[in-house]
Amino acid sequence: MATPHVAGIASLMLSVNPSLTPAQVLAIIQTTARAFPTGTGRDCTTALCGAGIINAAAAVLAAASAAAGPTTTTLTSSANPAASGASVAFTATVTGTTPSGTVNFADGGTSLAGCAAVALTGSGNTRTATCSTSALTVGSHSIVASYGGDAGNAASSSAPVAQVVNAKMLANGGFETPALAGTYRYAPTGASWVFSGGSGITGNATGFTSGNPAAPEGVQVGFLQNGNSQVAQTINLAAGPYTLSLQAAQRGNHQRGSQLVLVQVDGVTVGQYQPPNTSYTSYTTPAFTIASAGTHTIALLGAGGGGTDFTAFVDNVRLTMTGSATTTLTSLANPSFAVSSSAPLDTGDRRSALGND
């Protein structure tokens, strides 16, 4: 009875891969066979009984895989390092012969939630699948994208991407606390930030923000109204290089002038940004170094002009530790502070250029 079984399996193998030669059929059947059982009292060995017990499913799958062409899978991250809680998008790019099917995104061998079988999209011989997650914990993660293959394309996996997730160093970077229920408040308490001058927090569509798009993070933003307005936060930082990112926009209603936002660390300006309009623009400072661990103050200041009432909104403020090289910048406020030499810093006072009166 063995002959018809083997003949049937060979037929199934040829149905999924008609190009197989008799020698290839034999080799696949032999290499996919299960081992003979042991401990029977009359154990069969390969020398006595052949390659093993034929495994129909494994032989047919191996035949199909032999018909598939090679593929490559690469993986990229949208933000590396990323802050804890931030959304990171992993994109797998699969190159083959019009590949179809799905990609599994795994962290240390465990599939990321919702990303165990992400369908390829696109056209042609290069297609992509994307997995977005904000659930990665603080630390380093080994992320691998594995393409499952299809009838014409073999499976393949990417090289691991070492995704680093840093703890949030600034509290309440989205100005969501305290919750103001769609209103605004100057110098609110319980916000982690210290407010001075004409600064505070506002919700969407208030008397401040009715002329602007919704907050880019959450439903509230910080505001800096007129000169000498400031929001600041004092935190403990490890020594090392950092960048600060934020999103900012000019006020869209009742604006009489233009606000300039200064980013300061321990009293030293590391970036200054004048949003061009009422849409939120993303900014990132040049790298700066905290040379000694301890307490340091991060501040956003309003320093614009050109009128009598000018406000900028700020949101999504994040401090990130980086690996950028830096050179020392002498500072009266903090001699242990440095800023990157790769991105020149303009610290000049722009108020005269804005026509401040």
**Is-contact 312 248, C-beta < 8 A?**
yes
Number of domains in the chain: 3
**Statement to judge: residues 149 and 17 lie in one domain:** no
- Block residue for tokens 């490559």: 72
Give the confidence band of 305 by pLDDT, cuts at 50, 70, 90: confident
Q: Which has more pLDDT, 168 or 245?
A: 245
Q: Over 70: is that where the pLDDT of 335 sits?
A: no
Tally of CA atoms within 13 A in the half-sphere of 280 that contains its CB: 21
pLDDT, one tens digit per residue, over 223-276 is 999 999 999 999 988 888 999 999 999 999 999 999 999 999 999 999 999 999
Of 116, 137, 166, the last residue of a domain is 166
Average pLDDT over residues 347-352: 32
Give me the domain span that covers residue 11.
Answer: 2-67
**Statement to judge: residues 27 and 89 lie in one domain:** no
**Statement to judge: residues 156 and 188 lie in one domain:** no
The pLDDT, as a whole number, for residue 63 is 76
**Statement to judge: residues 103 and 15 lie in one domain:** no
Q: Over 60: is that where the pLDDT of 167 sits?
A: yes
Exposed, middle or buried, 193 (CB in 10 Å: 0-12/13-18/19+)? buried
Of 101, 134, 166, the last residue of a domain is 166
Residue 357 in any domain: the answer is no
**Statement to judge: residues 202 and 296 lie in one domain:** yes
Of 39, 67, 95, the last residue of a domain is 67
Residue 353 in any domain: the answer is no
**Statement to judge: residues 208 and 293 lie in one domain:** yes
The pLDDT, as a whole number, for residue 306 is 82
**Statement to judge: residues 25 and 84 lie in one domain:** no
Q: What is the CATH number of the domain that holds 223?
A: 2.60.120.260
pLDDT, one tens digit per residue, over 96-149 is 999 999 999 999 999 999 999 999 999 999 999 999 999 998 889 999 999 998
**Statement to judge: residues 193 and 330 lie in one domain:** yes
pLDDT, one tens digit per residue, over 50-99 is 777 788 888 888 777 776 789 999 999 998 888 777 789 999 999 999 99
Q: Over 80: is that where the pLDDT of 353 sits?
A: no
**Statement to judge: residues 200 and 334 lie in one domain:** yes
**Statement to judge: residues 138 and 104 lie in one domain:** yes
Helix (H, G, I), strand (E, B) or coil at 2: helix
Mark residue 109 as left, alpha or beta (left: phi above 0; alpha: psi -120 to 50; beta: remaining). Answer: left
**Is-contact 88 131, C-beta < 8 A?**
no
Residue 304 in any domain: the answer is yes
Q: 307: which 2 tokens?
A: 């009128």
Residue 312 in any domain: the answer is yes
The pLDDT, as a whole number, for residue 1 is 60
Q: 356: which 2 tokens?
A: 């401040």
**Is-contact 251 211, C-beta < 8 A?**
yes
Query: CA–CA separation, 298 vs 243, rounded Å?
Result: 11
Residue 41 in any domain: the answer is yes
Query: CA–CA separation, 23 vs 212, rounded Å?
Result: 72
Residues in the chain: 357
The pLDDT, as a whole number, for residue 245 is 95
Residue 261 in any domain: the answer is yes
**Statement to judge: residues 55 and 82 lie in one domain:** no
Stretch (H or E) spanning 48: helix 46-49
Residue 222 in any domain: the answer is yes
Give the confidence band of 323 by pLDDT, cuts at 50, 70, 90: low
Residue among 220, 208, 229 nearest 278 (CA): 208
Q: What is the CATH number of the domain that holds 149?
A: 2.60.40.10
Give the confidence band of 290 by pLDDT, cuts at 50, 70, 90: very high
Mean of per-residue pLDDT scores for the chain: 85
Residue 178 in any domain: the answer is no
**Statement to judge: residues 197 and 233 lie in one domain:** yes
Of 78-82, 225-229, 321-325, 343-347, the poorest mean pLDDT is in 343-347
Question: Dihedrals φ, ψ of 26, to 5°?
Answer: -60, -45
